[in-house]
Structure formats: C-alpha cells, structure tokens
Structure 1
Amino acid sequence: MQSGRKGTKHWRLEYAPAEARYVEPLMGWTGSRDMNAEVTIDFDDKESAIAFCKSNNIDFTVFEPKKRQLHLKAYADNFSYTRVRG
C-alpha cells in the first residue's frame, strides 16, 4: 500500500496543552478541560503562520517537516533470483 501526499503542503497552528489530560473514572475516557486543544488553524505557507502568531502575540515554535526518503522498488524485484526468501 502507498501513502498519499494530499494535504501535506500546509502549515498548522496547534496550541500547546495548558493542563494535563485526565481519565474519566466511570467510562475510562480521556478528557481535557483545555478548550484550546480543540483549535487548529491551517495556513498555506510558513511565513503567514508566523505572521499570524506575531500579530496575535502567540509564542510559537516551528517544526520543519522531515525530509522524505524514497525507497524506489520495481515490481520485477519480487521475482528476482537474488531475492532473499524467508
């Protein structure tokens, strides 16, 4: 199966949690009283996300995306004589 890349070319603002999550004792669900944990804002580019944070006095940390490593394979490699069988 192959993973698609749709929706990966945007920047997202997520608030850091203000308080720890808790486990609800009756049902065992994880809960939070922090409403900012529900808020995410998407931007088209990094500069507009940074500008938004600066204009609204929001402390921010930028996490750059990891470099994608391609593992090129050919379908014919499945039937190669040098393939390790196990």
Structure 2
Amino acid sequence: MTTRIYRQPKAAGQSGFHGTHTWVLDYGQSAQRHPDPLMGWTGSSRDTQSQVRLRFESSDAAVAYARKHAIAYNLEQPAPAHTRKPKVYADNFAANRVENWTH
C-alpha cells in the first residue's frame, strides 16, 4: 500500500491559512467499505490505517519517517500559490487612468 505525503490545502470556506503549513502522511483506503446490514452505516472494521493521518513540520521529516518505517510513499508537491495584485479604490479616479470609468 502506498501512502500520500502532501501539504494540507487551504479550506475553501475560510480565508485564513491556518494549518496549511503542515505536511500530512495519509495511508488512504486499503479495503473496500461496505454497509452494515443492521444500521446501514458504511465502514470497515478491519482497516484502521485509513483513519490515521500523521502531521509533520516539513516534507523532509515525513519522508524520513516513511523511509525509517519502510513505508512506500508518493510525495505530492503543492501547487504554486496565486499572487494577487492589490486594488485600490482611489485608482478608479486617478488622473492617469488608461480606460474611461464606467458603471
């Protein structure tokens, strides 16, 4: 079974970056999940590794842990961050504005 080592993404519903600087070693799902006949819950009682997510300060620490414990891993580099050009409301009324102001 191959594990994933990745940097946690920013939460889509939040504007902050808290928790996005840690790297995660995720085992993933190794066994197929099945519904419980009595309650209808979905789960697998035999696969407890899918519930484990280890957090590390750097990708090097996560890779070192995987190598030390002989765990096959796939290191996923994060996508480059998009930089935004700040916009200022006063630029709408600047004398050297290139385009005409429209509603």
Same fold (TM over 0.5): yes
Pairs aligned (count): 82
| Partner Cα separation in structure 2 for residue 42 and residue 64 of structure 1 | 15
Per-residue deviation, 1:73: 6.2
Q: Which has the higher strand share?
A: 2
Instruction: Please state if 1:39 is matched with 2:42.
Output: no
Deviates more, 1:25-34 or 1:58-67: 25-34
Matched with 1:25 is: 37
Counterpart pick for 2:70 among 57, 62, 65 = 57
Q: Comparing both chains, which one has the higher relative contact order based on Cα–Cα distances under 8 Å and sequence gaps of 6 or more?
A: 2
2:48 aligned partner, one-letter code: M
- Tell me, which stretches of 5 or more residues in structure 1 are unaligned? none
Per-residue deviation, 1:27: 3.5
TM-score (norm 1): 0.73
Q: Aligned Cα RMSD in Å?
A: 2.8
Residue identity (%): 32
SS of 2:64's partner is helix
SS of 1:68's partner is coil
Per-residue deviation, 1:22: 1.6
Change (3 A) 1:72 1:27: farther
| Partner Cα separation in structure 2 for residue 7 and residue 25 of structure 1 | 38
TM-score (norm 2): 0.63
Bigger radius of gyration: 2
- Tell me, which stretches of 5 or more residues in structure 2 are unaligned? 1-12, 90-100
Change (3 A) 1:59 1:75: same
